[in-house]
Amino acid sequence: MPLFYFDFHDGQRHCFDDDGREFPDLNRARDEVIGPLSDVTRDTRPPGDRRDCIAHICDESGRIVFRARLPLTPEWMR
């Protein structure tokens, strides 16, 4: 099975996957990265309220094969 690496960035911190995980295909790896991305967004509190969390899936050669971006921009309505 192919090996995929999940890297996360929350606007301030990077979390790099050095070990990778095996999945039968990229679609299964994609499904696996979506849940943790929302967790990263919920758990981070950078200065201000704006958050822009990004997850990359890299293949065994290190090439980014998928990216998911979850922006959060809260706004007061006056």
Residue 14: the pLDDT is 86
With cut-offs at 50, 70 and 90, classify the pLDDT of residue 25.
very high
CB 57 within 8 A of CB 4: yes
- 37-77 pLDDT, tens per residue? 777 666 655 556 777 889 999 999 999 999 999 887 777 88
Contact 40, 56 (CB under 8 A): no
Q: What is the SS3 string spanning 12-71?
A: CCEECCCCCEECCCHHHHHHHHHHHHHHHHHHCCCCCCCEEEEEEEECCCCCEEEEEEEE
- The domain segmentation of the chain, as residue ranges, is 3-72
Q: How confident is the model at residue 2 (pLDDT cuts 50, 70, 90)?
A: very high
Between CA 76 and CA 78 the distance in angstroms is: 6
pLDDT at res. 43: 63
